[in-house]
Structure 1
Amino acid sequence: MPAGRKRASGAAVRRRHLVAVLVRDGVMPLELGAVHQLFGVARGSDGERLYDVRTCAAVPGPVRTDADFSIDVPHGPQVLARADTVVVPASHALDDTGTGTDTVAAGGDVAGLLSTVRPEARVASICTGAFALARAGLLDGRRATTHWLSAERFRREFPAVELDPDVLFTEDGRVFTSAGEAAGIDLCLHLIRSDHGAAVANDVARRTVVPPFRDGGQAQFVDVPVPAPTGGHTGPARSWALEHLDETLSLDDLARHASMSTRTFTRRFRREVGVSPGAWLLQQRLLRARDLLERSELPVDAVARRAGFGTGASLRQHFARALGTSPAAYRATFGQDLRNQNVTSRLPRHP
């Protein structure tokens, strides 16, 4: 149905945000699939899809993956000029050391292809897809990240880029980069959250059974991603904390619920989660406050109490520091749409 046509009820059809995924020979299927899955299941309160996702290549047709199969890409580079967001996954060929090397040259003139992207569109990379963005000059003078195994090579090749290999993803203006494959999921959720708020992003996370929020500044390399089956770990304490966010929670409280000393708990928490207990607790409280601002009409002071900030002044301070806005402005942007059952994107859509 053409954009702008009316349904029988008289409601206008939403123009969806167009996400173009630029793939090259050696593309990693998990990264490509994650982009389609996450943006593809995002829904407004009326049940309508919020994004169209299109896979494109320098030349339409078969594209080799880094697995034992190829994919048939239906779209050529023309879709890039219409896209609102362009995502470049990694393109891997294993070198002699077993380290993934992004095969930009195999994908044609990537710099030329990316030059057709509209100035107002977002551009994002997953894993070593950052090499493609860097070769196109999109990262010069910007903060970026890539997979930690490729960080040194990236620094050597692109000294003009401010590389931060210790984070999950970065945002610098309209350009976004993420670390390994799983961090690409975090970045996609961040983009959805930026477009439509925490409620929509949380729904996408629930549908795909992934964590709804990992801050971009969280460490990408965690010493012990899965706690050892023997001995205590911090999971029960985190679950307890999420049920008591409206209370004053101390480090001693968390350690006690994990049956550990404070020192041991702090060390293990950072190893398992990648950030300190205090930083994690603040992330969860901000996420709870955002959800309440979107889904309820509670006064800001009541939202602050339920999220554990105590006062509206404290919530406003943390909101300004973390999100660059106020609770009232955030609600005006995201909460009003839910109350009116009319969620719309605040980013440009393709015609």
Structure 2
Amino acid sequence: MVISLEDMDEPTTVTDADGVREGFAGQRMLVVPGSIADRALRHPVTGKLLVTDAGYFPHAARHGRSRPRGAPQQILLVCTDGEGWCRSEGAEFAVSRGGAVLLPADRPHAYGASETDPWTLWWFHFTGSDAADLVKSAHAAADGRVTHLRDPAPVASLVSQVIDALDSGLTLSSLIRASGAAWHAIAEVIATGRRNPGPTLNPLERAVDHLRATSPHRTSVTALASMVGLSASQLTSLFRDNLGVSPLQFQVNLRMTRARELLDGSDLPIAAVAREAGFDDPMYFSRQFTRVHGTTPTAYRSRPVGT
């Protein structure tokens, strides 16, 4: 069955009782309208796992939710900085950097940020025929509600991809992309999470891993810094001191590496190579490629290659 998702509404945001938009500086939040979610749940892919809400709350002071009857969907919370707490089915536990919590649907719960060191939270709500089994698997792997990730950046990166997919327009393809990234995020929690905290990668290693995993998609320095618990200036200094380039230039280098791979290993037109390497404008790509390599993409492809 093919479900048409044409004539969709725009993503919505939440407002309080006085009509004032809730939120935190730099936040992102998207909500899929109920009519669209209902249709998507009849599709063979999104019917298995559908993201209905997703967001990013940086340094979320005074953030909290209490749902005495639970939520209609399952919920994933990932803390990448600061601290918070969660209460579920009578048990309360602390959530700090690297903590991932999966809350089952229709179960009472509450959670909130620490008053002294509020958390940075990446999250999404999800439903579908496979959703409950994924939550049960995560609880079994962690032997509890909270999973400790050695490095939360890869999971935060996948949540970021969920948000980006929804933000690109609520088409069927964007909902499928969001579902795929969400499935991957939950699978990462199940596969890499542990019962107890342990040694972690340093912030630079986490940032580099995220950029390599998501290239050629561009990540802002501010978002990247929040994933690893630093300010944008601190992260930029780490990159310059240890790698000799800024985070943005590091991303350009990754995209250029991808471009060289495609020029060497495929017959794609230059415009297609540009798109695959993350450049929307082929002319801009050619200028950047020439600046970095001292030759145009066409000349690079035509160069003699030794055996």
- Shorter chain as normaliser: what TM range? 0.3 to 0.5
TM-score after normalising by structure 2: 0.32
Q: Which has the larger strand fraction? A: 2
